[in-house]
Amino acid sequence: MTEAHAPQQLPVLFLTEPVLLPGMVVPIELDEAARAAVDAARASSDDRLLVAPRLEDRYASYGVVAEIVQIGRTQTGESAAVLKAHRRARIGTGVTGPGAALWVEVEEVDEGLDDERIPDLAKEYKSLVIANLQRRDAWQVVDMVNKVTDPSTLADMAGYAPYFTEVQKRELLETPSTAERLETLLGWTKDAIAEADVAEKIAEDVREGMDKTQREFLLRQQLAAIRKELGEDEPDGADSYRERVEAADLPEDIRTAALREVDKLERSSEQNPETGYLRTWLDTVLEIPWNVKTDDNDDVDGARAVLDADHHGLDDVKDRIVEYLAVRARRAQRGLQVVGGRGSGAVMVLAGPPGVGKTSLGESVARALGRKFVRVALGGVRDEAEIRGHRRTYVGALPGRIVRAINEAGSMNPVVLLDEVDKLGADFRGDPAAALLEVLDPAQNHTFRDHYLDLDLDLSDVLFLATANVVEQIPQALLDRMELVTLDGYTADDKAAIARDFLWPRQLERAALDADEVTLTDAALAKIVADYTREPGVRQLERLLAKILRKVATKLAGATGQETVVGDESDLKEYLGRPRFTPESDERTAVPGVATGLAVTGFGGDVLYIEATPTDGKPGITLTGQLGDVMKESAQIAHSYVRSHAEALGVDPAFFDHHVHIHVPAGAIPKDGPSAGVTMVTALVSAATGRKVRSEVGMTGEVTLNGRVLPIGGVKQKLLAAQRAGLTTVFIPHRNEPDLDEVPAEVREAIDVRPMTDVAEIVAQALEPTAQGAQAAA
């Protein structure tokens, strides 16, 4: 505890800095106020005065009683005094005294040396101070600190420490307890040592980096001198690049731009960071095949034969490629411009479900034309710079994928396949689909400018083929620049032909089997197509064929000269297990209130069952099955139509006193679109009348509140799905009748397609007759 001493009256001297602690001896310059305090001390208080810090917001509460040791002048001639601080004192009230100085009543305080923690704290603090001084090579100060035995004096020596601020030193002055001062100093000193460690580490790293840079500079200078003595030029110097540019076959504007960059390279030193950028840019420009083009195949019939040999069906895209080739051949015969220029390019997008051969078709097109082929995968690309390149000021900058594709192809007229263009992303780095607008516009891409090259690149003779699963996910502005060729999937006969002619031979080769070792009958192949796969493409079909051949290879591993025949249902069950897909329309429509609709997804056409049933509760409808907003609106429209036309449809108005639940199974799959409107109307009428929907009937079409059937999309894909599901009658909107021209003949022969304009007619033909329905209900 602190003990009070007798109060004293002393003149006071306020100092902004330094902060004086007991035991310190410091010189101060004497201004007018300091001179008055010193004179008063010498005249009336035995050369003693109180020195306290000057604070902006208040008067100091503590100071030190100091003695005037000497008065004189500084080297500049200014008056000065040397003061020695003795004890800490608490400042009391102001009093009157002689002279012009301010006098106060002060009370010296005891510093609480009886605290039992002090020896341990003093020992720890002393060791920290000595360690810090040794790091600074202050050995004389180390000896001085070693001689100090009084803990209070040791703590107050912190007033000399340069790493403590004036604020910290004032806090020490205002802390009479020696133990508290030592605890505070321990924390501050540890922080100061930690900061010093970090500063030394940074300084060491900087020093090492400078030493390494200087060492590399000296070594490079020595290497240059050695090469000069040996008569060797430095590789890839500016002179070397100038020779390469002048020798390269470059267009005149490209040559001018490249020589301008060579001039910059010649003016730059080896230590200039821009030198590396210039060399990389020049290397990229020299790698581009500016004037290299392959000759197109002028044999139109031969090109069609190549396409037919590689792919079954796909007549639309084959016809478009042959037309493109025929026009180029005709222009060449008449001596007209064939390559390059505004609007001379061709850009097509092949849209269709997975597995129909979109990606592999690009390679076949290149082979038919006699061009180089390069594939650019765009799925998941989110950075606009991936298409247009990075500015070359960035570290690691590269040209975009289009320029890299040209480099990879080695010619200026390759076939470039932009795979999965509907799966481009967009984020804060830009929209790559927007960057493709210039690339895929035949009216603009003859002057395509990559950010990295910053030169005009003529893409007008490149044949761009893009692939997509969902056309709606392609931005409209981008889709408008491309010719849309739709690949809607294969019929059962197409799949069987593809499996027989393409997939089976390929899988035989991969399984190391010969045709005389295993035979697949037509009946077995037809059953695989019908009962084991239900897809628009043929990927799953090929996997099943591979599975059969793997099991055959395993069976033949221990036998010789034995032929395996896969011919009937029992054989398929052995190799593939039970059929995964069987017709289920009969089962699903066995009760009233269930209608069969047709839909289109990213995986092609599909069958959609819609269920409706009345329940107890407040009149209205409940919708389930993870439906989108448009499909929910279609259900509301269907309910309103049936309610307003109940008498004409044979529906008891009392039916609408019940709550109606409409459900679309496969609830884990999101569904949307207006084309289920007629199906919902049919399901509601079936549930209301108790008449079942004919199991062989499917339907699609948007419905209005007055019962009109509006056109929808994807007719071909929906009819293919209906064929796969075993449906024989399909109702479509009358305005979709022209779309039937695109449907394969075997599908039109297998399905009775009925164009309709009024949903009431669909309901009348889709429901079973009244007597049969009543008998079934009974």
**pLDDT per residue over 99-122, tens digit each?**
778 888 888 887 777 778 888 888
Task: Report H helices in 645-769.
Answer: 646-649, 677-689, 715-725, 745-750, 759-766
* Res. 137: pLDDT tops 90: no
620/678 same-domain check: yes
Predicted pLDDT at 775: 43
Residues in CB range of 245: below 8 A, 6 or more apart? 255, 258, 259, 262, 282, 286
Tokens coding 344: 């001379």
* 48, part of any domain: yes
Q: What's the CATH code of the domain at 537?
A: 1.10.8.60
User: Mean of the pLDDT values across residues 479-507?
Assistant: 85
The closest alpha carbon to 20, from 73, 83, 79, belongs to 83
* 269, part of any domain: yes
367/461 same-domain check: yes
User: Mean of the pLDDT values across residues 575-604?
Assistant: 80
Residue 94 neighbours by CB distance under 10 Å = 13
711/737 same-domain check: yes
Predicted pLDDT at 154: 83
The closest alpha carbon to 534, from 716, 721, 754, belongs to 721
Tell whether residue 353 is among the known ligand binding residues.
Answer: yes
Max mean pLDDT among 401-410, 514-523, 567-576 falls in 401-410
Predicted pLDDT at 681: 94
Predicted pLDDT at 34: 86
pLDDT band for 562, please (50, 70, 90 cuts).
Answer: low
**Is 314 or 735 the better-scoring residue by pLDDT?**
735
* 232, part of any domain: no
Predicted pLDDT at 757: 93
Q: Is 718 a catalytic residue?
A: yes
* 436, part of any domain: yes
SS3 454: coil
**E strand or H helix at 462:** none
Tell whether residue 352 is among the known ligand binding residues.
Answer: yes
Given 169, 318, 671, 718, which residue is catalytic? 718
Average predicted confidence (pLDDT) for the chain: 83
pLDDT band for 385, please (50, 70, 90 cuts).
Answer: confident
pLDDT band for 758, please (50, 70, 90 cuts).
Answer: very high
Predicted pLDDT at 227: 65
Predicted pLDDT at 560: 55
Residues in CB range of 627: below 8 A, 6 or more apart? 635, 664, 671, 672
Give the integer Cα–Cα distance in Å for 236 and 279.
8
548/605 same-domain check: no
* 273, part of any domain: yes
- Considering 71, 89, 108, which residue would you say is the last residue of a domain? 108
- Considering 525, 542, 576, which residue would you say is the last residue of a domain? 576
Let me know the angle formed at the C-alpha of 491 by 488 and 493, rounded to the nearest 5 degrees.
150
* Res. 50: pLDDT tops 70: yes
Instruction: Kindly report the length of the chain.
Output: 778
Written as one string, the DSSP assignment of 92-120 is EEEE--SSSS-EEEEEEB---TT-TTHHH
Predicted pLDDT at 142: 78
Torsion from C-alpha of 24, 27, 33, 39, nearest 10 degrees: 90
Give the integer Cα–Cα distance in Å for 383 and 389.
10
SS3 456: strand
Give the integer Cα–Cα distance in Å for 558 and 180.
91
**Is 212 or 259 the better-scoring residue by pLDDT?**
259
* Res. 687: pLDDT tops 70: yes
Q: What's the CATH code of the domain at 662?
A: 3.30.230.10
Domain span holding position 539: 492-576
Tell me, letter by letter, the H, E, C secondary structure of 316-385. Answer: HHHHHHHHHHHHHHHHHHCCCCCCCCCCCCEEEEEECCCCCCHHHHHHHHHHHHCCCEEEEECCCCCCCH
Residue 78 neighbours by CB distance under 10 Å = 10
88/29 same-domain check: yes
**Is 550 or 95 the better-scoring residue by pLDDT?**
550
Given 45, 364, 675, 695, which residue is catalytic? 675
Residue 22 neighbours by CB distance under 10 Å = 22
332/439 same-domain check: yes
Give the integer Cα–Cα distance in Å for 697 and 679.
11
469/365 same-domain check: yes
CA 549, 550, 551, 556 dihedral sign is positive
Q: Which residue has the tokens 């207006």?
A: 674
Give the integer Cα–Cα distance in Å for 458 and 445.
6
Predicted pLDDT at 703: 93
* Res. 477: pLDDT tops 80: yes
**pLDDT per residue over 388-423, tens digit each?**
888 877 877 888 888 898 989 889 889 999 988 888
Q: What's the CATH code of the domain at 19?
A: 2.30.130.40
Give the integer Cα–Cα distance in Å for 693 and 587.
11
Q: What's the CATH code of the domain at 400?
A: 3.40.50.300
User: Mean of the pLDDT values across residues 198-208?
Assistant: 82
- Name which of 9-13, 330-334, 540-544 the model is least confident about: 330-334
What is the longest distance spanned by two Cα atoms in the chain? 134
The closest alpha carbon to 721, from 552, 560, 597, belongs to 597
Write the Ramachandran bin of 525: left for phi over 0, alpha for psi from -120 to 50, otherwise beta: alpha
* 162, part of any domain: no
672/733 same-domain check: yes
Tell whether residue 558 is among the known ligand binding residues.
Answer: no
Predicted pLDDT at 344: 57
pLDDT band for 774, please (50, 70, 90 cuts).
Answer: very low
pLDDT band for 128, please (50, 70, 90 cuts).
Answer: confident
User: Mean of the pLDDT values across residues 258-287?
Assistant: 81
Write the Ramachandran bin of 75: left for phi over 0, alpha for psi from -120 to 50, otherwise beta: alpha
251/201 same-domain check: no
* Res. 498: pLDDT tops 80: yes
603/702 same-domain check: yes
* Res. 518: pLDDT tops 80: yes
Instruction: Count structural domains, the chain.
Output: 6
Tokens coding 214: 């200087």
387/465 same-domain check: yes
Predicted pLDDT at 237: 55
* Res. 771: pLDDT tops 90: no
List the helix and strand counts (H, then E) for the chain.
29, 24
Q: What's the CATH code of the domain at 205?
A: 1.20.58
* 165, part of any domain: no
Written as one string, the DSSP assignment of 517-540 is TEEE-HHHHHHIIIII---SSSHH
DSSP label of 735: G
420/521 same-domain check: no
Tell whether residue 355 is among the known ligand binding residues.
Answer: yes
* Res. 60: pLDDT tops 70: yes
- Considering 452, 483, 514, which residue would you say is the last residue of a domain? 483
* 80, part of any domain: yes
Tokens coding 250: 């470059």
Q: Where are the beta strands (DSSP E) in 23-114?
A: 25-29, 48-53, 62-73, 79-95, 103-108
Please state at what angle helix 315-333 crosses helix 300-310, rounded to 10 degrees. 160
**pLDDT per residue over 342-374, tens digit each?**
555 678 888 888 888 888 888 888 888 888 999
Identity of residue 683 = A
